[in-house]
């Protein structure tokens, strides 16, 4: 996807690379691990969010914890703003570095310790989410938060974004699974937040750090809780002739008091994209919507829960409900769902992805609203979302070279977001604010609240050099203009 | 090319499938990073001779593991070939690469090169030199690894010839250095009910040329093979080298713009089968003689990712009595052979090979089965140089061994 902000600046247009800084960073991490040639920075000029290209000035890739600390201190000495990056799979542009230093943490990918008895692991920030689950599977454990990008995204990135995932409906998001962190603050000071026992001793600073989107510092290691694998799992696929029927089934399942491990919905456009891909899962391509429901826990009683879900789906008008026969079919059903975002590339040359939350009881009305808005602006919305949480991901494919269509798409998106807010929801469920949601922050927070966020940020990063320009709109920070270090990061 | 690149939503799901990203830990050496480089070159924001483009495109193995990870269906292999072809217009390939491509494109020079290689192999000098550091030592170890020890013994294969006719692509390295695997292929096909037809005039498949960006050379070889295999008029074209099979299945794509050949190429491509596909379609007939060995299977990238053939080679191995098949961690990752990559990018190739060798060591297997000459020699050389007590063999060689001593006919 090329960008809404289209071309990458040529060398002459860009700020001159701070050659001295690059050399000092290279002295820490080695020449190969410092990139500053425009050609080599291309790969780091976007993350998972389509539509933006922002080129960093320098990209630096430490390989050890000590190197990270040394790099952060060097950046502090230089007063250089920086953006931490994991695998660059984020969907709010959180890892975009616009003319500032990009600090890649992907090389810190060691699992430092696994304590199976206490179900705790200590990992470096660059450990890939699914690699952790794989490493502990022999102990009958897994790492519960499972964002769709889990095959690629890193724990450090998950911490920054407080990542969710289908199974967070029952098991909670990243925050519920992080008990302690060692963090290099932007000034280079190393601090420990939380403790391995997972008890609050004083203010919940882990809670403040998880979800801080790289603005509070860089995690050097993360102590996470591991979850015991459930005794049994049942995965159901229900298909519906209308989105509304699917949404009513979701409401009915939740209202019945059941807590599924996951409750996901995909609409026709999404189903067709997935079924055309290598991850084809056998979803019915003539359905208006499918629900993917997972129930897990002790085997006793599980099948009664399955029967309840089947009944609610049928009552809502499901055409068919089937239960995955074995692990292979279950994996296939999940792979299709998890790769749905990637499969959107099949639909059109450009894509807007969105992330919003509504109270789940309002799901049927909200989906009808989304449909109306899309129709009014003549755009095609593909919905794929965590229905159980009321977390919507409306995606709109379009052609960015068509200015009229682009304008309609962005207007439709704004209206959809406003509708979610009006329904009592919010502007992000799990992707974070980054730069993509900045314009919507004012819709849910007062200036006072935003100002308070700035004050909190200042505790961790008084110079505001960590991930500048993200999360809180700049104008909300009264002192912003007075912080020259941060301003150099803004072009 | 444009639409192929546009399909990339840079979701990053390809990263962990890419051997060079896993090894070098730089997104410029990942599929997503390379697609961005290609896009910029295509849009003109990056010069075609920009060192960043050259370094990272050259460093791609072309294993296409990203294609079986990509939800969006980015045709990465085609994009890479097109990019390399454009780059080749502006620069000369390294000398080693040009020499190899020149040799393989000419039947006479290929015959001489292979004969000299066999001669050298017979002197046992490669065994002595196989521990030398660097490219020469590795090349010698590759040659030494092609020596077959006692697995082959000719027998008269008999079958009921009910499954149709097959012409076998003999290949360059396969016939030149691993002829035993070709004979095993022929015999196992016969035992499984196929009848063999000659295809005189066949040449190198052109894969090495296409992957290096020499599309003209690749097309010339493809046209010669189309004529040869049209002449053979067999129902199937059997290929036992994954890279060659992938290439022949793509002749239709390669010659899509040549009116005289486009349709003919499509018809030839449609007849191409990997040997494991043909054997599995016939059962395969179970072996009678037990093969008492612990074996692990390493998937050639151009079988698993390019041709998307995962299970048939394993079914072939399971048809062999006595054989103990143990799983290989990371079997879906490239071994670093990648045609002539191991000779032109030796450092990265070795770095990609290293975890493969460790995983093989961990299985304790005496034999590593893999159906591609490049992989056989790369893994064979790596095992030899790392002093791992294991050898690389083609799966059909093992099936053949289980058919051999009884010299049995079909059912």
Q: How many CB pairs under 8 A join A and B?
A: 127
Residue B188 to residues A160, A375, B24, B54, B397, Cα–Cα distance (Å):
57, 61, 41, 44, 9
What pLDDT shows up at residue B149? 63
Which residue in A39, A47, A278 is closest to B52 by CB distance?
Answer: A39
Q: A479 or B373, which is more confident?
A: B373
Is position A8 within any domain?
Answer: no
Q: Are residues A119 and A213 in the same domain?
A: yes
- B5, B16, B27, B50: which to substitute to probe chain A, counting the most A Cβ within 10 Å? B27
Name, in order, each residue with C-beta under 8 angstroms of B329's C-beta and a sequence gap of 6 or more. B359, B362
Name, in order, each residue with C-beta under 8 angstroms of B49's C-beta and a sequence gap of 6 or more. B87, B90, B91
Asked whether the beta carbons of residue B45 and residue A10 sit closer than 8 angstroms, the reply is yes
Asked whether the beta carbons of residue B70 and residue A152 sit closer than 8 angstroms, the reply is no
Give contacts of A46 with chain B, Cβ < 8 Å. 10, 36
pTM: 0.93
Q: Are residues A200 and A258 in the same domain?
A: no
Give contacts of A94 with chain B, Cβ < 8 Å. none
Assigned token pair, B244: 């060659």
Cβ atoms of A484 and A468 within 8 Å: the answer is no
The percentage of chain A sitting over the pLDDT mark of 90, rounded to a whole number, equals 81
Give contacts of B10 with chain A, Cβ < 8 Å. 1, 46-48, 50, 88
Q: Are residues A372 and A280 in the same domain?
A: no
**A106 vs A61: CA distance, rounded Å:** 8
Residue of B nearest to A280 (CA): B71
The residue out of A82, A104, A126 marking a domain boundary is A104
Q: Are residues A293 and A325 in the same domain?
A: yes
Give contacts of A278 with chain B, Cβ < 8 Å. 67-71, 73
Give contacts of B31 with chain A, Cβ < 8 Å. none
Asked whether the beta carbons of residue A277 and residue B51 sit closer than 8 angstroms, the reply is no
Q: How confident is the model at residue A478 (pLDDT cuts 50, 70, 90)?
A: low
Give contacts of B30 with chain A, Cβ < 8 Å. 43
Give contacts of B83 with chain A, Cβ < 8 Å. none
Q: Are residues A331 and A375 in the same domain?
A: no
CA distance B254 to chain A (A): 23
Which residue in B52, B56, B72 is closest to A346 by CB distance?
Answer: B72
CA distance A34 to chain B (A): 10
The 10 Å CB-count burial string (b at 16+, else e) for A229-260 is ebeebbbbbbbbeebbbbbbbbbbbbeeebeb
Is position A10 within any domain?
Answer: no
Asked whether the beta carbons of residue A42 and residue B6 sit closer than 8 angstroms, the reply is no
Q: How many domains does chain A have?
A: 5
The residue out of A290, A318, A340 marking a domain boundary is A340
**A239 vs A255: CA distance, rounded Å:** 20
Cβ atoms of B27 and A88 within 8 Å: the answer is yes
Is position A12 within any domain?
Answer: no
- A49, A64, A104, A152: which to substitute to probe chain B, counting the most B Cβ within 10 Å? A152
Q: Are residues A380 and A478 in the same domain?
A: no
Is position A332 within any domain?
Answer: yes
Q: How confident is the model at residue A489 (pLDDT cuts 50, 70, 90)?
A: very low
Provide the 8-state DSSP code for B46.
S
**CATH of residue A398:** 3.30.70.2740
CA distance A331 to chain B (A): 15
**Window 186-245 of B, Cβ < 8 Å to A:** none
Residue with tokens 């990270």: A68
Q: Are residues A289 and A218 in the same domain?
A: no
Average pLDDT, chain A: 91
Asked whether the beta carbons of residue B11 and residue A149 sit closer than 8 angstroms, the reply is yes
Asked whether the beta carbons of residue B72 and residue A344 sit closer than 8 angstroms, the reply is yes
Q: How confident is the model at residue A7 (pLDDT cuts 50, 70, 90)?
A: very low
Name, in order, each residue with C-beta under 8 angstroms of A265's C-beta and a sequence gap of 6 or more. A243, A246, A247, A250, A289, A290, A291, A292, A383, A384, A385, A387
Is the Cα torsion angle A237, A242, A247, A248 positive or negative in sign?
negative
Q: How confident is the model at residue A39 (pLDDT cuts 50, 70, 90)?
A: very high
**CATH of residue A329:** 3.30.70.2190
Give contacts of B40 with chain A, Cβ < 8 Å. 8, 39, 42
Which helix (H) or strand (E) element contains residue B246?
helix B242-249
Q: Are residues A163 and A257 in the same domain?
A: no
**CATH of residue A77:** 3.30.43.10
Is position A368 within any domain?
Answer: yes
Residue A422 to residues A361, A437, A443, A444, Cα–Cα distance (Å):
14, 16, 9, 10
Q: Are residues A50 and A143 in the same domain?
A: no
Is position A271 within any domain?
Answer: yes
Give contacts of B26 with chain A, Cβ < 8 Å. 32, 35, 43, 61
The per-residue pLDDT for range A381-416, each reduced to its tens digit, is: 999 889 998 999 999 988 888 999 999 999 999 999
Which residues form the domain of A457?
Answer: 445-487
Assigned token pair, A9: 């600046």
**CATH of residue A188:** 3.30.465.10
Q: Are residues A312 and A408 in the same domain?
A: no
If 0-12 CB within 10 Å is exposed, 13-18 middle and 19+ buried, where does residue A51 land? Answer: buried
The residue out of A175, A203, A228 marking a domain boundary is A228
Which residue in A1, A277, A340 is closest to B6 by CB distance?
Answer: A1
Give contacts of A85 with chain B, Cβ < 8 Å. none
- Which residues sit opposite A320 in a β-bridge? A239
**A475 vs A465: CA distance, rounded Å:** 16
Residue by residue, what is the 3-state secondary structure of chain A?
CCCCCCCCCCCCCCCCCCHHHHHHHHHHHCHHHEECCHHHHHHHCCCCCCCCCCCCCEEECCCCHHHHHHHHHHHHHHCCCEEEECCCCCCCCCCCCCCCEEEECCCCCCEEEEECCCCEEEECCCCEHHHHHHHHHHHCEECCCCCCCCCCCEHHHHHHHCCCCCCHHHHCCHHHHEEEEEEECCCCCEEEEECCCCCCCCCCHHHHHCCCCCCCCEEEEEEEECEECCCEEEEEEEEECCHHHHHHHHHHHHHCCCCCCEEEEEEHHHHHHHHCCCCCCCCCCCCCEEEEEEEEECCCCHHHHHHHHHHHHHHCCCCEEEECCCHHHHHHHHHHHHCHHHHHHHCCCEEEECCEECCHHHHHHHHHHHHHHHHHCCCCEEEEEEHHHCEECEEEEECCCCHHHHHHHHHHHHHHHHHHHHCCCECCCCCCCCCCCHHHHHHHCCHHHHHHHHHHHHHHCCCCCECCCCCCCHHHCCCHHHCHHHHCCCC
- What structural domains does chain B harbor? 2-88 (1.10.1060.10), 95-143 (no CATH), 165-203+216-280 (no CATH), 286-404 (3.40.50.11810)
Provide the 8-state DSSP code for B309.
-
The per-residue pLDDT for range A264-310, each reduced to its tens digit, is: 999 999 999 999 999 999 999 999 999 999 999 999 999 999 999 99
| 3-state DSSP assignment of residue B323 | coil
**B256 vs B266: CA distance, rounded Å:** 9
Phi, psi of B191 (to 5 degrees): -60, -30
- Give the CA diameter of chain A: 68
CA distance B9 to chain A (A): 5
Give contacts of A152 with chain B, Cβ < 8 Å. 11-16
CA distance B312 to chain A (A): 18
What pLDDT shows up at residue B2? 82
Asked whether the beta carbons of residue A345 and residue B71 sit closer than 8 angstroms, the reply is yes
Q: Are residues A277 and A197 in the same domain?
A: no
Which residue in A39, A151, A349 is closest to B16 by CB distance?
Answer: A151
Is position A164 within any domain?
Answer: yes
In this structure, the strands spanning A82-85 and A101-104 are: parallel
Is position A11 within any domain?
Answer: no
| pLDDT at position A477 over 60 | yes
- The answer to whether B59 contacts chain A (CB < 8 Å) is no
Sheet holding B236-239, edge to edge: B195-197, B165-169, B236-239, B272-274
Q: Are residues A161 and A207 in the same domain?
A: yes
The ipTM is 0.91
Mean pLDDT per 10-residue section of chain B, whose length is 411 residues: 88 96 97 96 93 96 96 95 94 91 95 95 94 92 85 80 96 95 96 97 96 95 98 97 98 96 98 98 93 97 97 97 97 95 93 97 97 97 96 96 64 31
């Amino acid at each position: 996807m090329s960008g809404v902000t289209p071309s990458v600046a040529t060398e002459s247009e860009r700020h001159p690379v701070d050659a001295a800084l690059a050399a000092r960073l290279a002295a820490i991490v080695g020449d190969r691990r410092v990139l500053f040639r425009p050609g080599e920075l291309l790969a780091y000029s976007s993350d998972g969010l389509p539509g933006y290209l922002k080129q960093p000035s320098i990209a630096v890739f430490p390989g050890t914890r000590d190197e990270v600390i040394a790099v952060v201190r060097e950046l502090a000495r230089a007063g250089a703003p920086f953006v931490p990056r994991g695998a660059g799979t984020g969907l709010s542009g959180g890892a975009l570095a616009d003319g500032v230093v990009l600090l890649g943490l992907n090389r810190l990918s060691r699992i430092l310790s696994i304590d199976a008895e206490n179900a705790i692991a200590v990992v470096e920030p660059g450990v890939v989410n699914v690699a952790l689950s794989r490493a502990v599977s022999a102990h009958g454990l897994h790492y519960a938060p499972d964002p769709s990008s889990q095959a690629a995204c890193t724990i450090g990135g998950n911490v920054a974004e407080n990542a969710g995932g289908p199974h967070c409906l029952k098991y909670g998001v990243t925050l519920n699974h992080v008990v302690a962190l060692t963090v290099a603050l932007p000034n280079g000071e190393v601090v420990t937040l939380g403790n391995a026992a997972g008890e609050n001793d004083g203010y919940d600073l882990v809670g403040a750090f998880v979800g801080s989107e790289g603005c509070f510092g860089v995690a050097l290691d993360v102590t996470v809780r591991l979850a015991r694998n459930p005794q049994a799992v049942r995965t159901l696929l229900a298909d519906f002739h209308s989105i509304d029927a699917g949404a009513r089934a979701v409401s009915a399942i939740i209202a019945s008091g059941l807590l599924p491990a996951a409750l996901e919905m995909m609409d026709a456009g999404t189903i067709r994209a997935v079924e055309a891909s290598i991850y084809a899962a056998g979803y019915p391509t003539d359905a208006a919507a499918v629900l993917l429901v997972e129930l897990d826990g002790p085997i006793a009683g599980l099948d009664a829960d399955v029967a309840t879900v089947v009944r609610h789906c049928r009552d809502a008008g499901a055409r068919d409900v089937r239960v995955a026969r074995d692990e292979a079919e279950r994996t296939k059903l999940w792979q299709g769902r998890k790769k749905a975002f990637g499969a959107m590339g099949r639909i059109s040359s450009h894509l807007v992805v969105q992330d919003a939350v509504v109270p789940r009881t309002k799901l049927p009305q909200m989906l009808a609203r989304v449909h109306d808005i899309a129709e009014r602006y003549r755009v095609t919305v593909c919905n794929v979302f965590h229905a159980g949480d009321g977390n919507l991901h409306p995606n709109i494919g379009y052609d960015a070279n068509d200015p009229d269509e682009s304008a309609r798409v962005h207007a439709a998106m704004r209206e959809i977001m406003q509708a979610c807010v009006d329904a009592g929801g919010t502007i992000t469920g799990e992707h974070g604010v980054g730069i993509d949601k900045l314009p919507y922050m004012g819709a849910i927070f007062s200036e006072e609240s935003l100002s308070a966020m700035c004050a909190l940020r200042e505790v961790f990063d008084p110079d505001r050099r960590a991930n500048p320009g993200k999360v809180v709109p700049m104008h909300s920070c009264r002192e912003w203009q007075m912080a020259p270090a941060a301003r150099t990061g803004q072009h | 090319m444009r639409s192929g690149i546009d399909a990339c939503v840079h979701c990053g799901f390809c990263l962990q499938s890419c051997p060079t990203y896993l090894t070098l830990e730089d997104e410029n050496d990942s599929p997503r990073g390379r697609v961005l480089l290609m896009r910029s070159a295509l849009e003109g924001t990056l010069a075609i001779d920009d060192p960043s483009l050259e370094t990272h495109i050259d460093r791609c193995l072309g294993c296409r593991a990203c294609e079986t990870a990509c939800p969006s269906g980015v045709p990465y292999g085609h994009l890479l070939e097109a990019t390399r072809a454009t780059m080749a217009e502006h620069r000369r390939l390294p000398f080693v690469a040009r020499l190899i491509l020149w040799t393989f494109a000419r039947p006479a020079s290929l015959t001489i090169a292979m004969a000299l290689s066999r001669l050298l192999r017979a002197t046992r000098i490669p065994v002595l030199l196989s521990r030398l550091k660097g490219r020469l030592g590795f090349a010698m170890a590759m040659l030494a690894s092609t020596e077959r020890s006692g697995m082959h013994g000719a027998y008269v294969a008999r079958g009921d010839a009910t499954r149709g006719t097959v012409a076998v692509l003999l290949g360059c390295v396969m016939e030149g250095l691993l002829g035993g695997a070709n004979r095993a292929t022929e015999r196992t096909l016969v035992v499984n009910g196929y009848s063999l037809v000659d295809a005189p005039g066949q040449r190198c498949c052109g894969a090495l040329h296409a992957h290096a960006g020499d599309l003209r050379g690749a097309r010339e070889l493809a046209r010669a093979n189309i004529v040869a295999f049209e002449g053979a008029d067999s129902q199937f074209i059997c290929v036992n080298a994954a890279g060659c099979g992938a290439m022949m299945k793509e002749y239709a794509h390669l010659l899509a713009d040549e009116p005289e050949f486009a349709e003919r190429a499509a018809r030839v491509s449609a007849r191409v089968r990997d040997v494991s596909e043909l054997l599995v379609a016939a059962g395969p007939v179970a072996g009678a003689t037990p093969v008492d060995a612990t074996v692990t299977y390493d998937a050639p990238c151009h079988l698993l990712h390019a041709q998307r053939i995962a299970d048939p080679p394993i079914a072939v191995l399971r048809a062999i009595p006595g054989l103990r098949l143990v799983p290989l961690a990371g079997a879906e990752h490239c071994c670093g052979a990648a045609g002539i990559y191991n000779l032109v990018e030796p450092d990265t190739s070795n770095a990609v090979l290293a975890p493969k060798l460790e995983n093989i060591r961990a299985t304790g297997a005496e034999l590593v089965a893999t159906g591609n000459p490049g992989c056989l020699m790369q893994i064979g050389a790596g095992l030899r140089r790392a002093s791992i007590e294991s050898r690389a063999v083609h799966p059909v060689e093992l099936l053949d061994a289980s058919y051999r001593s009884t010299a049995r006919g079909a059912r």
